[in-house]
A and B are shown apart, each in its own frame.
Chain A
Amino acid sequence: MKKQILALSLLLAVSLACNTTPVLNRETTPIDTGINADEWALVPAGKFYYGLHSKDSVIDYDYEMMVTHVTNHQYVTFLKEALSEGKLEIKSDSVYGFFPGEPFHGFRHEDEINAGLYLCMPLNVPGNHISYHNNEFTIDPGFENHPVVMVSWFGAWWYAKFYGYRLPNEAEWTKAARGTDERAYPWGDEIDDKVVNYTHSTKSLRPVLGTEVVRTTPVGLYNGKKYKELQTRDNSSPYGIYDMAGNAWQWVADDYPRLHYKYMRGGSFSNYAHFVTNWARNSAHPEYCSFNLGFRCIRDVKAPTNNLVESDDSLTGEDLNR
């Protein structure tokens, strides 16, 4: 019996010792996907289906959404401009920005979000491909056109505010991703590693990125082009918006009523298929930062009259927040 226990223990020890997976990649193969991260796509007013249960919903105004996530390059440009204008400040290797606060209801589990400085982005930390040394920002080689990550909701909010954009609410995000039908993913109902960067894509992406560890991919990578052995399929939504599923979660404007946890949409490289659907949600405290969490913005084509038109068979705003 002792021998048997010893053999089992050895087997466990070997399995532990064999595990030498590197943790992070600081360099990757530069890839030109041909997708311009500065472009915007028009999302026209109209009906759409919201959520898992495909509730009939309507948005009564046109708006434009970024064709891709905000990239590291775009965010560094923003940081330089915002810092030079004194809108943001750097303290203890982190970027902070002022936020006017949100109403406090004293609700159970509710955190107070008062007016004050809030973390926008921690610098020089593992997972962030943007570094800051000697008053200079640098981006890890090859990551210029990857989604910016390790950015808090306040960091996303500041980016949008600085350029006159805004974060999409969940309804706007859903319509942009889903179009007018009930598809599960922005491109349709089938999913595999040829169309999205999710948890099962590691193997196919390794030779493309030239790294053992696979995290984010260049924005718009899955557009039908072939990269080495990987023949991708176009993953754009019906409005031509890329990566609305996978790659990196996206902060959106809404939060839980009275709780201030901000929603995220779209899923990331670390998620299974059910988390990259058009209705899957994640959420976190607005100061939360992660190496799988970024954002994109929308801008108004004309001033919105109302977020949603309420009709007999349409959802109310409250319904959509649920």
Chain B
Amino acid sequence: MNRLKMNRLNYFFTSTKGLILVAIVIVSVTAAIFGMLSGPMAEWGVRDVVVKWLRMDLKPTERAGRIIMLYHTIAMAVIAIEVYMITSIVPMKRHQQTNINTLVTFGYMITMVFGLGFAYWGHNKAFHGMFLVGLSLMFFAGVMLAIVLNPWSKEYRITDKAYAHTKKGIDLERMAFFTMVVMTLISAGFGAYTGSFWGSGQEAFLAEDIIREADKTVFEKSIIGHLHIMLALIAVAITLVIGRWFDFKGIYHKLAMWLMIPGSIVLGAGSLSVVWTDAAHIFVYVGAVLTMLAALFLVIFGWRKLIKDRLAEQNLKKAGFFKSVAALLHDPLKFGPLWQMVFMNFTVSGVGIFLAVKLDDIFRVWPLREERITLTGHWHILSALIATIIIMYYADISGLKGKTRQWFGWILIIGSDVAFASMTIFSMKRLMVVETAQQQLVDTTMILADFGLGIVLVMMFLFLLWRFFDLFKDNGLWRKETINQELDVKKTTGYIPAFSKEGDSMKGGEK
């Protein structure tokens, strides 16, 4: 026990669950502070107070660059969370997990501290340099992860027929993780290539501002491809992670993995091919259909499993429609992530496809600002949906139980979906009302969005407050999570005892 150095710092920075908690807290605090700088917060005077209190230096000319830095810093923390999850649930050697997690932790923290410092507190060039160091560390962690995830490695071949694998035993889920990581690295290369040209915020632009430019430069196209595929790959990663959480297996697993691997490649290559060809959208559609079908199979599997498990708990061998629905909805933290994947089709994919199909007939008749709102709404909602999925998974990891679990889960689902649906309606309002009659719709959707996001943030605050006070307990959750530090999932490939360290064989800690 002494070897475990049972202190909080050890928990925060060496255990998977602690690392995830730290990253979630940092993202939450960042979102809370920087969210107070825009939208209605400016009107309410909150922005001025925050700027003054934190002595921020916000020049109007630097807004685009600031936002880009903010996106990157938050994205790095989210990627770090996903990496922690992946290194915990995908079999690898202990030292590999430690190395990757260490690099990622330094990477995202350096990125955040110095990136935000550069963007919001004066343009200290050294800070920008450190921001790039942080991004580089993240990239190298990604390279290491790709190497570690090598699906052709003989150590990680599987024979269990329940999980997708080739005749030679290559684990297709591992292959899907590997593909996602490699595509992410390629896309990061596109971003870095362009960033090195436009470094230090000299030529920052927001993609939505140039959407109507007929002649985009190679650099602009690189960025557009980069930002689209990065978010899509973050979504692919969380889908794979959730699949492991649900012990995704069987025929749906096999179908899903065979779709997810080419889907990630086609989607990634398609997004980046916008640099060279106008046909990029066709590749994107094909890749998106493949990955979304894979996610659909996970949803089908997961919902059937939820119903089956709940009915088994109730000792019911057969159940009608309503009993089955009740069983499906019994646990919001397990129903929620899969539901959010379905809901995404209404608020993100559906909107995106509609936008593409009706671009000339509808969206290009509207002013740029309206098209811009639809575009930014589209990916803000996708990002936030991914965040809610991560939060629900983490709430489950934290062991929320009983009514607290129910309240937390349902408020998170309902609050976020009300907000996202409202923002979707807001962004597409011109389809429903003329401009001069839009005020009521605008006000209503804004109120609902604020209400939805507000209750989600309150729940998140309470949740983190609970985790904060837990740190003051000697025998708190943090101690249990230090001992049982890995995510409790069944791995597609087996435990490799030969590589585990002495003392690591506690439950869930095998590597």
- Determine which of A8, A20, A275 lies in contact with B369 in the assembled complex, contact meaning CB atoms within 8 Å: A275
Q: Is B488 an interface residue (CB 8 A)?
A: no
On chain B, the number of residues with a Cβ less than 8 Å from chain A's Cβ atoms is: 41
CB–CB A256/B365 < 8 A = no
Contact B60–A1 (Cβ < 8 Å): no
Residues of chain A from 274 to 291 with CB closer than 8 A to chain B in the complex: 274-275, 277, 279, 281-285, 288, 290-291
A274 near B60 with CB under 8 A, answer yes
Q: A54-B61, A189-B59 are in contact. List 6 more A-B contacts (CB 8 A).
A: A12-B418, A23-B440, A125-B436, A184-B61, A189-B60, A261-B364
Least CB distance from B104 to A in Å reads 33
Chain B residue numbers with a CB within 8 Å of A15 are 444, 447-448, 451
Known: A19-B447, A127-B435, A322-B213. A52 touches B64 (CB 8 A): yes
Quick check: is A219 within 8 A (CB to CB) of the other chain? no
Interface residues of B (CB under 8 A from A): 38-39, 42-43, 59-61, 63-64, 202-203, 205, 209, 212-215, 278, 359-360, 364-369, 406, 410, 414, 418, 434-437, 439-440, 443-444, 447-448, 451
What are the 4 closest A-B residue pairs judged by CB atoms, nearest first? A184-B60, A127-B436, A126-B436, A284-B367
* B-contact bits for A109-135, CB 8 A (1 contact / 0 none): 101000000000000011100000000
Give 26 pairs: A residue, B residue, CB < 8 Å, sorted on A. Answer: A16-B447, A21-B443, A23-B437, A23-B440, A52-B205, A53-B203, A109-B359, A109-B360, A109-B364, A126-B437, A127-B436, A184-B59, A184-B61, A200-B42, A256-B212, A257-B214, A257-B215, A261-B212, A271-B369, A274-B60, A274-B63, A275-B369, A279-B61, A281-B209, A282-B368, A290-B367
A-B contact count (CB 8 A): 109
Please give, as numbers and ranges, the residues of chain B lying within 8 Å of A264 by CB-CB distance: 367
Interface residue from A22, A24, A52, A126 paired with B61 (Cβ < 8 Å): A52
Is A272 close to B, CB under 8 A?
A: yes
Residues of B within 8 A of A273 (CB): 42, 60
Task: Choose among B202, B214, B447 the residue with the greatest number of A CB atoms under 10 Å from its CB.
Answer: B214
Q: Number of contact residues on A: which range applies?
A: 35 or more
Q: Which chain B positions have C-beta within 8 A of A35?
A: none
Cα–Cα distance between A286 and B444 once the two chains are bound (Å): 31
Could you say which residues of chain A place their CB within 8 Å of the CB of B444?
15-16, 19
CB-CB under 8 A from B215, the residues of chain A are 257, 322
Identify the closest chain A residue to B444 (Cβ): A19
Q: Which of A24, A199, A274, A283 touches B212 (beta carbons < 8 Å)?
A: A283
Tell me, yes or no, whether A56 is within 8 Å of chain B by CB. Answer: no
Q: Give the nearest-CB partner of B447 in chain A.
A: A15
Interface status of A315 (Cβ within 8 A of chain B): no
In the complex, the answer to whether B212 meets A213 with C-beta atoms within 8 Å is: no
> Does A47 make an interface contact (CB < 8 A)?
no
Chain B residues, CB < 8 A from A127: 435-436
Binary flags per residue of A14-37, CB closer than 8 Å to B gives 1, else 0: 011001111110000000000000
CB of B448 within 8 A of CB of A281, answer no
User: CB-CB < 8 A to B359: which residues of A?
Assistant: 109
CB-CB < 8 A to B38: which residues of A?
272
Residue ID in chain B nearest A322 by CB atoms: B213
Pairwise interchain contact A283-B61, C-beta atoms closer than 8 A = no
Cα(A200)–Cα(B205), bound, Å: 25
Decide: A23 and B209 in contact? CB cutoff 8 A: no
The answer on a CB contact under 8 Å between B406 and A107 is no
Which A residues lie within 8 Å of B436 (CB)? 23-24, 125-127, 291
A191: chain B residues within 8 A (beta carbon): 60
Query: B50: shortest Cβ distance to chain A, in Å?
Result: 15
Give Cα A126 to B406, complex, Å.
Answer: 48
Chain B contacts for A261, CB-based, 8 A: 212, 364, 368
Say if the beta carbon of A259 comes within 8 Å of chain B: yes
A73, CB-defined interface residue at 8 Å: no
Min CB distance B453 to A, Å, is 14
Known: A21-B440, A127-B435. A288 touches B365 (CB 8 A): yes
- B364 contacts which chain A residues (CB < 8 A)? 109, 261, 285
Q: Is the CB of A256 within 8 A of B214?
A: yes
A108 touches B (CB below 8 Å): yes
Q: Is the beta-carbon distance between A108 and B368 smaller than 8 angstroms?
A: no
Using Cβ atoms and an 8 Å threshold, which residues of chain A touch B212? 256, 259, 261, 283
Contact B42 A288 (CB under 8 A): no
Cβ of A187 to closest chain B Cβ, rounded Å? 13
B454: min CB distance to chain A, Å: 12
Most buried by B among A52, A53, A108: A52
Residues of B within 8 A of A271 (CB): 369
Q: Which residues of A contact B443 (CB under 8 A)?
A: 19, 21
A258 x B214 contact (CB < 8 A): yes
A62 at interface, CB cutoff 8 A: no
Q: Which residues of B contact A275 (CB under 8 A)?
A: 369
B-chain residues with CB within 8 Å of residue A11 when the two chains form the complex: 451
Q: Could you say which of B43, B214, B410, B437 contacts A199, with CB atoms under 8 Å apart?
A: B43
Chain A residues contacting B64 (CB-CB under 8 Å) are 52
A254 sits at the interface (CB 8 A):
no
A89 near B: Cβ within 8 Å? no
Report the minimal beta-carbon distance from B64 to chain A, rounded to whole angstroms: 7
**Chain B residue at minimal CB-CB distance from A17:** B444
Query: Contact partner of A182 among B61, B213, B406, B448, CB < 8 A?
Result: B61
**What's the Cα separation between A124 and B369 when bound, in Å?**
25
- Which residues of A281-322 have CB atoms within 8 Å of chain B's CB atoms? 281-285, 288, 290-293, 322
Indicate if the CB atoms of A285 and B60 lie closer than 8 Å: no
| Chain B minimum-CB-distance residue to A292 | B435
Bound: A149/B147 CA distance, A:
61
A257 cross-chain contacts in B, Cβ below 8 A: 214-215
With contacts A52-B64, A54-B61, A256-B213 taken as known, whether A23 is within 8 angstroms of B439 at the C-beta atoms is: yes
Query: In whole angstroms, how far apart are the Cα atoms of A293 and B406 in the complex?
Result: 49
Chain B residues, Cβ within 8 Å of A19: 440, 443-444, 447
